[in-house]
Amino acid sequence: MDPVGLLVQLGGAASTATLLANVSRRELRTSLGRGEIVRVGRGRYALPVVDEALTAAHALDAYLTHLSAALHWGWEVRLPPATPQLAVPRGRQVPEGVRLIDLRREDLDGWATSRLQTVLMCAADLPFPDGLAVADSALRHGELTRLRLERAAVAFPGRRGPLVRRVVAYADPRAANPFESALRALAIGAGLGVVPQFRVRLGGVTLHPDLADPLRGIALEAESWEFHGRDKKAFERDCQRYTLLTAAGWRVLRFTWREVIHDPG
């Protein structure tokens, strides 16, 4: 898999180490030289949509919101937006392609909505899998605490308040990536009580399925051969984990990135 396709599956942003576990340094340098990916910080790369959104915000005197803001903060998302997601405060003339929303000074940080406001807006306005992926990413990166999110969710006004509180209630920093977040969102929607990276002790071996419903004995695996890259040992460890779980009576269900992202039904 090339760096661009890998970044899409990783949520639009990734560390150098993660990329080099799956592609060669030459492939990484080539994509960077062609402008197919961009360096957004020390040891971190992203899709060009991150820079493009910020450029558009500057040109239109607007602010990054939703998924564009999430990527701006370096968080992974379920799928990067096709076009920059921008907004201006009410009372301003609205350029084409820009939303008009209520934005207070405390909701903004530079050219984007604040980290807290970004999570709340994604939870309120986007489908559950997208909102959960952003909230998981924010917690995983240590940008926000659960307590702060919970307090903000309780105070979130209007009819979208329950949507925000649902996302925050399920947000979990243990989700490894947006792929797992999206799979968990679908499992929750199907009525499963899944926990990310649940600890399963089998004899002298400790396993951590991607997702587990311990009461039903169901383990869900976000099957991503691409993420193993050239690490065949990791692939072998996964196979051993599936075998041990199945032998112990767990029902192991495996899902690919394409199924979860493009064929959730």
- Together in a domain, 68 and 147: yes
Give me the tens of pLDDT residue by residue for the chain, a chain 265 residues long.
788 888 888 888 888 888 888 888 999 999 999 999 888 778 888 888 888 898 888 888 889 999 999 999 989 999 999 889 999 877 677 777 788 788 888 899 999 999 999 999 999 999 999 999 999 999 999 999 999 999 999 999 999 999 999 999 999 999 999 999 999 999 999 999 999 999 998 878 888 999 999 999 999 999 875 554 556 677 777 788 888 999 999 999 999 999 999 999 8
pTM score: 0.88
Domain ends where: 170, 203, 223? 170
Write the CATH number for 255: 3.40.960.10
pLDDT of residue 99: 82
C-alpha triplet 138, 85, 158: angle, nearest 5°: 70
Same-domain pairing of 193 and 152: no
CA angle 126, 129, 131 (to 5 degrees): 45
Range of the domain at 190: 178-262
- The first and second tokens of residue 206, run together, are 């400790």
Indicate whether 39 and 71 sit together in one domain.
no
Looking at the fold, whether 165 and 238 belong to one and the same domain comes out as no
* 104 and 197 both lie in a single domain: no
Final residue before a domain boundary, out of 47, 65, 80: 47
pLDDT of residue 116: 97
Q: What is the tally of structural domains in the chain? A: 3
154 shares its domain with 235: no
Q: Are residues 52 and 41 in the same domain?
A: no
Tokens at residue 103, please? Answer: 């934005």
* pLDDT score for 90: 75
Domain closes at, from 25, 47, 69: 47
What pLDDT shows up at residue 21? 84
